[in-house]
Amino acid sequence: MKQLTQLRLKATWVGWVGVSLPLAWGIYQTTLKAMALFH
């Protein structure tokens, strides 16, 4: 049971990292585009 719970917690971490990376990339790309407003 303890192993299953730990596995589930790991899955949660993997999930958060898994969605954060492409989101961070998208935000970075959009920020680069937004910088054109200040040049």
Partner 1 sequence: MHTEREMQMSTTSASIGTAALTPGFDRWLIPPAALAVHLSIGQLYAFSVFNEPLTRAIGISAPAPGDWGLTDLGWIFSLAIVTLGLTAAFAGKWLERVGPRRALLTAAACFGGGFVLSAIGVHTHQIALVYLGYGVIGGFGLGLGYVTPVTVLIKWFPDRRGLAAGLAIMGFGGGAMIGAPLAVALIGTFKSDVSVGVAETFLVMGLVYALAIVAGALAIRLPAPGWKPAGWTAPAERVQHSDVAPREALGTKQFWLLWLVLCLNVAAGIGVLGQASMLIQEVFDRRVSPEAAAGFVGLLSLFNMAGRLGWSAVSDRIGRRRTYFLLLALGAALYAFAPFAGPIGGVALFVGCFALIISMFGGGFAAYPAYVADLFGTRHFATLYGRLLTAWATAGVLGPVLINYLREYQIGRGVAPADAYNVTLLILAGVLALGFVCNGLIRPIGNASRDA
How far, in whole angstroms, is CA 33 from its chain's centroid?
20
C-alpha to C-alpha distances, 34 to 25, 28, 31, 38, 39, nearest whole angstrom: 14, 10, 5, 8, 10
Chain positions 1 to 39 lying near partner 1, rule: CB under 8 A, are 1, 4-5, 8-9, 11-12, 15-16, 18-19, 22-23, 25-27, 29-31, 33-39
Residue type, 19: V
**Residues contacting partner 1: total by CB under 8 A:** 26
Q: Give residues in contact with partner 1 (CB under 8 A).
A: 1, 4-5, 8-9, 11-12, 15-16, 18-19, 22-23, 25-27, 29-31, 33-39
